[in-house]
Every structure is written in C-alpha cells, then in structure tokens.
Amino acid sequence: MTEPSGFLIGGDLAVQRLGFGAMQLPASPAAARENAIAVARRAVELGVTLIDTAYLYGAGANEELLVEALHPYPDGLVITTKVGVARSAATGEWELAGRPEVLRDQVERGLTRLRLERHALLQLHRVDPEVPLADQLGTLRELRDEGKIARIGLSEITAGQLAEARQIIEVASVQNRYSVFDREHEPVLDACTAAGIAFLPWRPVAGAGEEAAGGLPGEVAAVAAELGATPTQVALAWLLERSPVVLPIPGTADLAHLEENVAAQRIRLTPGQRGRLRVPAA
C-alpha cells in the first residue's frame, strides 16, 4: 500500500496522516469490549500512529479501554486526549468546564488512566465561554511547563479564537468538524494550513453512505465507482489531498470498516475528480 506522507505535529511529533478516532469503541458489555480491543489493536497493526480519545468518552472509560488494548504502547504510537468537559454536580449532565482547577485535575487524572508520564498532545475539548480563554490556555501552558503536556491543541474553535489562542500559546493542533460534505470550518483549516498547524477533522466521512442521485453525495458515489472504491474512501482521500496539514481521524467499531478506512490511503483523485467535488451551489 502506498502510504501518504507523514506529518510533524508541533514541528516535531511524527505521525502518519490517517489516524483513528476511538469515540465509537464501546467499553461494555464484555463482548463489545473484546471487539473494541481487537479493533484498536488492528488499527495499530495497519500502521495507524495517532489515536484520539477524550475524558468525555465515558468519563475516562474510553481511555482505559485503549490502555487495556495497547499498553505498553508501541514505539511511535501517540494517544491524544481532550479535557474541558465535565458532569454537572447539580444535574449530572455534561457541561463545558474550563476552570483552571478542573483542567488541571483532568490532565493529571488522564495521565494516570493512560499510564503516561506526559501527554504528547493534549487538546482543549471546547472553549468554555464562562472562563477567559487566557485562563484556560494559561493553565494548560503551566502544565506544559511542568512537563505534564508536550503540545497543546484546541477543538471546535473559530478562526478568531485560533488567532487569539496563538497570542497565548503555541497551538499544535486543531480538531474541528469537517468533511467533503461539511465545510463550515474552511476558514479555520485555511488558517491552520498557512501556519502549519495540524488539523484533525472529526466526523470526516459523515454523509458518505447516503444515497443520492445528484448533488455532492451523488458525485462522491460516482467518483467512487470510477475508482473502484467506496464513497467513504473517496471522502477520506479528498481530505488527505485537501491540505498537507489534514490528519483525518475516522472512527469505527467494525473491523471491516477499519480496513476500508485505512485502504483509503492508496486512493488518488484526478484533477477532474477533485474539481467535481466542489461545494455545491446553494
């Protein structure tokens, strides 16, 4: 298989450009957990070197699942997690939690759960509008200076927030929703491309399986038929060609889907096919 070129997150953390999002891996019941462990291990066998998780995914249960599946971690494997969301003591519902004491606690507990001495890449899951951004990022910068975080990333931010954040910290990555079907955050991707910041699109293939006679879903399906590929593979190939800073993190709990996703790395779109996968007219 022809591998896409790798990328250096933060200028020095080497990863392959197709990662894996672990959110869909269930921690229970037992049979589902066993399958989830097998999927995580197979992803690494197939050459995936970046796996994305978060405290939000089961209040740390997803992180613990990855430890069971992969620890001791192979050389070169990066487990990146996210903090900044917590359950409300009053309602039990998840809410944004960017207070310094919450971020510090989640970062330190994450190290324990993941059995790490330092987070290679730690991302703020969401910006808490009730806490000054300087306080949220300042806390993560302090933890970096203490050796608990190597690189800091952000998730679901605007171009304006990215510009503000870069005045406070060195931003290593951005994780926003983005795909061939959903380009709301195109300005953020363009800013990341210009600055050499890793862009990790989540939901990178959402909509690829939809049947449509026309419009963009139909065009993706048509290109897939021409290439002998699946619409999902075309959606991933488009992302890999969209910008050299893009690191898609498709997730699945199905081994066959995992194999399909990884095989997308060998798909190459022609200039004409790329031109057809444009933003459809309103």
Sign of CA dihedral 103, 145, 246, 129: positive
Q: What are residue 208's phi and psi, to 5 degrees?
A: -65, -30
The Cα 264–Cα 273 span in angstroms is 15
My answer on whether omega of the bond before 204 falls inside 30° of 0, hence cis, is no
Q: Is 57 marked active-site? A: yes
**DSSP β-ladder status, 78-83 and 122-124:** parallel
Interacting residues of 154 by C-beta distance below 8 A, sequence separation 6+:
123, 124, 127, 161, 162, 165, 171, 173, 174, 175
Residue 125 and residue 87 in contact, taking contact as beta carbons nearer than 8 Å = no
The beta strands (E) that lie in the chain are given as 7-9, 13-15, 20-21, 50-52, 78-83, 85-87, 94-96, 122-124, 152-155, 171-175, 198-199
The Cα 1–Cα 241 span in angstroms is 17
Question: Taking the CB of residue 211, how many other CB atoms lie within 10 A of it?
Answer: 8
55, 57, 73, 178: the active-site residue: 57
Residue 272 and residue 34 in contact, taking contact as beta carbons nearer than 8 Å = no
Q: List the structure tokens of 246.
A: 């893009």
Which residue numbers are catalytic?
Answer: 57
